[in-house]
């Protein structure tokens, strides 16, 4: 069911400012920046081994990342787990009584199919499932 940790999403006020630490201090490189209009977010992926760090900058004052930063400040917003079959995984979680934010996958950055599991079912962690074809 779960293949690996795909990425860790970090909410930031500015990708440009936040990326300086990863580039200048850690020597990592951003491989792609993308705006996902339906989620009101700009993303930047930074590969680290087999996983990635995803920097998330809100493109709107009322977007989910802006609201997250307003409430909690910058920091880890979600952990994404890569799955082979997201529809099957969502169905299995529903059968186990797990509360889902998304019962049907939606479009995510990099062309991935994504769905979120509600933090009430995961001890307070926003968990993203993603499938990359």
Q: What is the mean pLDDT of residues 94-109?
A: 95
pLDDT of residue 1: 80
Tens digit of pLDDT for each residue in 119-129?
A: 999 999 999 99
**What is d(CA 98, CA 125) in angstroms, rounded to the nearest whole number?**
13
**What is d(CA 76, CA 73) in angstroms, rounded to the nearest whole number?**
9
Residue with more model confidence, 29 or 1: 29
Predicted TM-score (pTM) of this structure = 0.92
pLDDT of residue 54: 97
Residue with more model confidence, 38 or 79: 79
CATH of the domain at 29: 3.10.180.10
pLDDT of residue 38: 87
The 3-class secondary structure across 21-45, one letter per residue, is HHHHHCCCCCCEEEEEHHHCEEEEE
Split into its structural domains, the chain has a count of: 1
pLDDT of 133 higher than 90: no
Q: What is the mean pLDDT of residues 83-90?
A: 97
Q: Which domain holds residue 76?
A: 2-131
């Amino acid at each position: 069911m779960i293949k690996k940790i795909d990425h860790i999403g970090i909410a930031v006020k500015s990708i440009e400012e936040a990326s300086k630490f990863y580039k200048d201090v850690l020597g990592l490189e951003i491989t792609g920046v993308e705006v996902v209009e339906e989620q009101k977010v700009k993303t930047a992926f930074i590969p680290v081994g087999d996983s990635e760090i995803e920097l998330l900058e809100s493109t709107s004052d009322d977007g989910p990342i802006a609201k997250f930063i307003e409430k909690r400040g910058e920091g880890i917003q979600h952990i994404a787990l890569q799955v082979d079959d997201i529809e099957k995984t969502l169905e299995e979680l529903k059968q186990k009584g797990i509360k889902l934010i998304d019962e049907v996958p939606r479009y995510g950055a990099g062309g991935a199919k994504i769905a979120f599991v509600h933090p009430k079912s995961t001890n307070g962690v926003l968990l993203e499932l993603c499938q990359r074809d």
